[in-house]
Chains A and B, each alone.
Chain A
Amino acid sequence: MERTLYREIKATGPLWQAAVWLGLFVAAMLASVVYVEHHGHAVTGMTNHVVWGLPHVFAIFLIVAASGALNVASMASVFDKTQYKPLARLSGVLAMALLVGGLAVLVLDLGRPDRLLVAMTTYNFRSIFAWNVLLYTGFLGIVAVYLFVQMSRGMPPGAIRSMGTLAFLWRLALTTGTGSIFGWLVARPGYDAAIMAPLFIAMSFSFGLAVFILVLTALYRLAGRPLGAGLVIRMGRLLAIFAALVLYFTAVQHLTNLYAAEHAGIEAFILSEGGMYTALFWGGQVLIGGLIPIAMIYHPTFGKTPQAARAASVCVVLGGFAQLYVIVIGGQVYPMELFPGYAVTSGFGDGAVAAYQPRWPELLLGLGGVAISLLATGLGAKVLRILPTNLSDANTGSDIGQEG
């Protein structure tokens, strides 16, 4: 085993190519923002019924994945899993990059993005949204310090461990806050559930690790550095457990709701009568995002290959988007009751399932956020010494074959 050496990745042709593509997506995002700013949100698919649309699905995915991406570093410095130690730096950079990408989408979708300063200086401390602004900025600061202590020479291991613990606790608070944005909305039957917070934490474990596996693989391919199959397979097994955890919390969420007669309507909508939302729930979230990746990882032969972990990661990401679409959009299109015992109708669509059709500007905005995250991660790997030169299994002690 050689010593772990962290080096910047070299500027190869494929790396530049990837950067140009991502840059194009960021440019398209900015064009879309100018367009929506000029014409108002009327040119998006969002309405007074569905006030948070596709951009918020992207933003919340990125923010949730951000806190999850930090788990690899936490496992190394908080839970002493030494195999993950060489990955801790990338974990921190990716976590920050994903959060920045998600926040960019969230901010640029505001009705008045020019008032970002107002959002950062005027707080209503009764609002979980305001607390989230502090949690997000705090996360960026804490992870930056965590990265700094990891990367400086001569730091006592205790410093890394304490910063790692602080970052881990902070990320749990952050995802609790993100879940509570929905969980504390008492008016809407699709939200208003304390389980939203732990559900979002489980989602962050799962989405964050899936994104980490994919980004790690892509970066090592672009840099032409060896990445051991055993390490990827090991992370894949962890991913299967996280995906199962998401399924578990989803099951508890819906079983609890099914037990309460007042929630029968929303449950029937999501689970059986909701058309596209039902299809996205069962087909996207449960099947593609849960059962298929778990089956791939635990397959007796395919499961022993790194391809299984990568394919499972792609599935978890896709299923994650489906899940957030069902939560964010599905929870809004389902009508609210106005008075118990009465059916309500109006010219404003009361009592009816609202229509939502995402439009191009929203998709470009969301994809631009993903591009910002990836571009920032790549830039981090290019200018900072965060990636080990050699991640072969012999070097990380991740040889699955030896362990049996």
Chain B
Amino acid sequence: MVRLLLPLVLMLAAGMSAAGDRSSLWPDVPKATGAPHAEGNAYWRKHHMEMMRHDRDLTMRDGDRMIAASLKGCFDCHTVTDETGATVTYASEKHFCRSCHDFAAVKVDCFMCHRSTPDGVDETVDHAALTDRRAGDILAYLRAIGEGGE
């Protein structure tokens, strides 16, 4: 067992030292603005969904607006810009949520309904692929799949 594990550990260690403190496969979490979470990042990484789910029910069902965790609140600090300085949406791999969720292979359902940027950012261009192709008939769609356009 040790014989099997040892090379693996060595390889990992080598990879880590090469990429600084972590493997290059590790998610590259974008820097945020604003004051840090008082509970610490580890707490939020683990519990953000529970907190948001809990508060969304309080807000929507009970009308409690004194909430702590909301998507809108997230994007006050956690926005990411691309090379051109434009704020990226969930359509981009660089989006704050995707940086970890792609790594963990956990699908985020939020942005079917919620916007993934602060109010005021125009999301239309990034999601053009989503809204543009209002193909009228199924045959054109199947053809597009056949041509690898999907």
Contacts and interface: CB of A to CB of B under 8 A. Distances in A.
A361 B133 CA distance: 16
A43 B137 CA distance: 7
B6 interface: no
Contact of B135 (A31, A32, A39, A364): A39
A361 B134 CA distance: 14
A361 B141 CA distance: 11
Interface in A28-50: 31-32, 35, 38-39, 42-43
Interface string B125-137: 0000000011111
Secondary structure of the A contact surface, majority rule? helix
A42 B134 contact: yes
B138 interface: yes
A148 interface: no
Contact of B137 (A31, A42, A360): A360
A43 B142 contact: no
A360 B141 CA distance: 12
A54 to B, nearest CB: 14
A360 B138 contact: yes
A39 B142 contact: no
Contact of B141 (A35, A42, A364): A35
A35 B134 contact: no
B102 to A, nearest CB: 19
Interface residues of A, number: 10
Interface residues of B, number: 8
Contacts of B138: 31-32, 35, 43, 360-361, 364
A43 B135 CA distance: 8
Contacts of A43: 134-136, 138
A364 B133 CA distance: 21
B137 A39 contact: no
A32 B138 CA distance: 8
Contact of B134 (A31, A39, A360): A39
B33 to A, nearest CB: 34
A360 B139 CA distance: 10
Contact of A31 (B133, B136, B142): B142
Nearest to B136: A43
Nearest to B142: A31
A38 B135 CA distance: 10
Contacts of A38: 141
B130 to A, nearest CB: 9
Interface string A359-375: 01100100000000000
20 contacts: A31-B138, A31-B142, A32-B138, A35-B138, A35-B141, A35-B142, A38-B141, A39-B133, A39-B134, A39-B135, A39-B141, A42-B134, A43-B134, A43-B135, A43-B136, A43-B138, A360-B137, A360-B138, A361-B138, A364-B138
Interface of B: 133-138, 141-142
